[in-house]
Structure 1
């Protein structure tokens, strides 16, 4: 047992900002006039010569959209309980309002930073939202930042990256480790599935490391560093983190090769235009929260925690039955476990985070805890019994009333074939056997659940030849059909897939190209769509 530095309280039960990729999706109608004096760098001395720039008027509908979301989330019972927010309390009325532009600009200039903190009316609109219009939310995030920022800073320092990158998580998730966007981005750093897998984050039916504060932060730092290596500019790297390098590259091309974020601003996707301004404003708000009389609010819950390594299957219910901790708190401290199950083994232990006041009880009672209703939660010491998901993830079919058949994998088999022979969903087959990325091996024993009355029929599948198994479902006996080859588009550069290639590996061979962009160009969902000899579109020829 060692003192936890890897984890500082995660409020998975708090659902404020499940879709906090918020502003960038609504900043598409800014009423501005593009001029040479439109944007003022924090490295620029403020003067009256910039008054044309300050005549810009952003669309204030943006803040209305924010307010609607925040009012709904901040008024939730769970936030009121955990943060003890008294809805009847008197709001502070004498905080600074409507500061002159020269004050904002001077303060941004005074922040010690590597990333340029440009100031303009779009940025100002975000600053006013943080410091005037939604002070309640900012005060909650200030409280959370006291726990998460040390984790972020340690990781950013490890990779020698600007520490102000930590403020990007404010824009991504509002520091909610279980935030989930409408398009499936997940966690503090809002990773999509494909990007997360390419960054070596584990995502299975039981574990989602996008929701692990330490591992997700490490992946985000590595990904941002790669983007910076491509562009040599943090504004562009941050924009690419939001919309992908492909969209940034197109904006650069359509702007005649310009590589300044503000010069390609209107060439970027609508949802990305507010991303950098919101980042700059968040940096300002957190650096100058005292000047705006913003006071951090801390959740009323035990935050002194430690971690132990678990090396056997463990259900949260087993822990709660023997240790004085509520399941919601256990979930909050361990947001990476999807189904209240830790799928640990001797060969692959997993961390369990507990409050300090109960961790010694857990260590002293670990044998009793593991044994508590063992057969109920892990029949035959397996993970096959479906458990309740803590989110809207895939839920397997109920195996009650079904018979178990054991199938031995043969040469030429794959998950698709086997699921069709036994007439079960491929997703169920993966879940029952903890299969990751459809990786199975010859000789592997697979548990499959079939209707009891058809058990004898399906037990015979083991002894069938490939041709017989295919014939049983009315399919050809040819193991693999030759894939149709489409004519190549002469306007694109192509890559020929080799043995062992992944989309991430291929993307690394080309500057400015992401795995997500390759998937989009080739209508792929993930690496499973690759085959040796395949011709992949990479980018348009210059």
Structure 2
């Protein structure tokens, strides 16, 4: 009897396990957007590889293995496991080629990130953020102008010491931008007191996070999540999933793809203008490869000076090669102007705002004998009070020949001059001239 009960229990467990496996398998397939939909309308998002998912996905395939692995990975930054994180693990585990490339690039970039983060006492886990920010592409530029591995906006980058001029954009410099990002996280954590909130602030700004905190009356990210912008709601779960997949690739049959970035490099400081193309020839390497190690130089020219020496990163070379390199660094000439001009703000949102400001028309009327403000207001279908405000009149008194503004945003009913901004109605010689400025 006892053996029959045990056999029955075993069969039930097998059936439940099979059912759960089939259900989980179907769920995983259904939860992953079809190929080509990850970047559907990518212009609506700033981040490179954070697909927008259903805000409240169903969660009937809780995976204890995922949770156990996340628990083992967790250090200073909470690695919570929930339906949102699960969805992004599903997404990234199916993007094997992309994650394989990230694993390859990490061997070059992660030591740079780690050194900067350590200098500002920021958790090592933050090094995974450029994966979802830029796919570790120093030349990545978002729809609003965020640039580089860490996707700095112009004003934020400048505020954290990054230089942008006609020769260099340090938002693309892996070293400089990493130290700026580390400084930002130091400040965000000092203000918000939580690493997940600091990560959210990196995406939408500390102000938006603080507003969400006030609305939710909580400092827990998952509690304030509904009050954050949609992209930020997805951003933090995507980050946790990226940390997971980069630490557990073998469990998802993801293989490291070898990076073309040099494993061993040397760094030199130069105090004069140096051509990267000429240096590449001296190093017997592809020019694009050397520029890839120095992505911040816009013109492939390193604009070093005595006051501000500049860094050049190149593959490790033997002592025998230094004679040729020395000659390039000290004796080669660079054509063109060497004047350094500070760059202007490239925030594309500012340009859109300028374009969206409608031009307003201004119309004038010269007062004729017998006219009063009421008659003129009726003629142009405006209020007497509007006429007083537009013309800075303290009372209702006007005099013949006086020039009045009768409209600031639409053409009046009578004939006008051909200038759409300045519409003039002729009468007797004017005693009072308006400026005509808007």
TM-score (norm 2): 0.63
Aligned to 1:299: 259
Aligned to 1:466: none
- 60 and 135 in structure 1: CA distance in 2 versus 1, 3 angstrom threshold: closer
Aligned counterparts of 2:328 and 2:247: Cα–Cα separation in 1: 48
Aligned counterparts of 2:34 and 2:192: Cα–Cα separation in 1: 29
Which secondary structure state, in structure 1, belongs to the residue aligned with residue 139 of structure 2? coil
* Contact 2:121 2:186 (8 Å CA) reproduced: no
| Deviation for aligned residue 1:223 | 0.3
Aligned to 1:143: 104
- 323 and 64 in structure 1: CA distance in 2 versus 1, 3 angstrom threshold: closer
**Residue 342 (structure 2) aligned to one of 409, 413, 436:** 436
Aligned to 2:143: 182
- 57 and 326 in structure 1: CA distance in 2 versus 1, 3 angstrom threshold: closer
Q: Within the alignment, does 1:126 sit opposite 2:32 as a pair?
A: no
| Deviation for aligned residue 1:165 | 1.2
Aligned counterparts of 2:39 and 2:292: Cα–Cα separation in 1: 26
**Residue 226 (structure 1) aligned to one of 178, 187, 197:** 187
**Residue 235 (structure 2) aligned to one of 257, 275, 291:** 275
| Deviation for aligned residue 1:141 | 0.4
Aligned counterparts of 1:254 and 1:361: Cα–Cα separation in 2: 62
- 191 and 58 in structure 1: CA distance in 2 versus 1, 3 angstrom threshold: farther
**Residue 116 (structure 1) aligned to one of 66, 78, 95:** 78
* Contact 1:306 1:354 (8 Å CA) reproduced: yes
Aligned counterparts of 2:286 and 2:166: Cα–Cα separation in 1: 23
Aligned counterparts of 2:34 and 2:228: Cα–Cα separation in 1: 18
Which of the pair has the greater relative contact order for Cα pairs under 8 Å at 6+ separation?
Answer: 1
Aligned counterparts of 1:254 and 1:193: Cα–Cα separation in 2: 30
1:28-69 superposed Cα distances (whole Å, 9 cap, x missing partner): xxxxxxxxxxxxxxxxxxxxxxxxxxx999975597532679
**Residue 306 (structure 2) aligned to one of 346, 350, 353:** 346
Aligned to 1:93: none
1:131-190 superposed Cα distances (whole Å, 9 cap, x missing partner): 2x1011101101111121122222222222221111112111111122111111111111
Which secondary structure state, in structure 1, belongs to the residue aligned with residue 268 of structure 2? strand
Which secondary structure state, in structure 1, belongs to the residue aligned with residue 177 of structure 2? helix
| Deviation for aligned residue 1:108 | 1.4
1:81-121 superposed Cα distances (whole Å, 9 cap, x missing partner): xxxxxxxxxxxxxxxxx985111112212224121111112
Aligned to 1:426: none
- 274 and 172 in structure 1: CA distance in 2 versus 1, 3 angstrom threshold: same
Which secondary structure state, in structure 2, belongs to the residue aligned with residue 116 of structure 1? coil
Q: Within the alignment, does 1:378 sit opposite 2:335 as a pair?
A: yes
Aligned to 1:336: 296
| Deviation for aligned residue 1:356 | 2.1
Which secondary structure state, in structure 1, belongs to the residue aligned with residue 37 of structure 2? helix
Aligned counterparts of 1:189 and 1:175: Cα–Cα separation in 2: 8
Within 5 Å, give how 1:367-446 maps onto structure 2: 367=327, 370-372=330-332, 374=333, 377-378=334-335, 382-383=337-338, 433-436=339-342
Aligned to 1:312: 272
Within 5 Å, give how 1:356-367 maps onto structure 2: 356-357=316-317, 361-367=321-327
Which secondary structure state, in structure 2, belongs to the residue aligned with residue 274 of structure 1? helix
Aligned counterparts of 1:146 and 1:300: Cα–Cα separation in 2: 11
Within 5 Å, give how 1:163-174 maps onto structure 2: 163-174=124-135
Aligned counterparts of 2:245 and 2:179: Cα–Cα separation in 1: 25
Aligned counterparts of 1:183 and 1:151: Cα–Cα separation in 2: 26
Aligned counterparts of 1:169 and 1:62: Cα–Cα separation in 2: 24
Within 5 Å, give how 1:74-93 maps onto structure 2: none
1:380-433 superposed Cα distances (whole Å, 9 cap, x missing partner): xx51xxxxxxxxxxxxxxxxxxxxxxxxxxxxxxxxxxxxxxxxxxxxxxxxx4
Aligned counterparts of 1:124 and 1:254: Cα–Cα separation in 2: 27
* Contact 1:58 1:122 (8 Å CA) reproduced: no
Q: Within the alignment, does 1:106 sit opposite 2:68 as a pair?
A: yes
**Residue 243 (structure 1) aligned to one of 204, 216, 230:** 204
Structure richer in helix, relative to its length = 2
* Contact 1:323 1:358 (8 Å CA) reproduced: no
Aligned counterparts of 1:284 and 1:227: Cα–Cα separation in 2: 23
Q: Within the alignment, does 1:204 sit opposite 2:165 as a pair?
A: yes
Which secondary structure state, in structure 2, belongs to the residue aligned with residue 125 of structure 1? helix
- 266 and 62 in structure 1: CA distance in 2 versus 1, 3 angstrom threshold: farther
* Contact 2:293 2:314 (8 Å CA) reproduced: yes
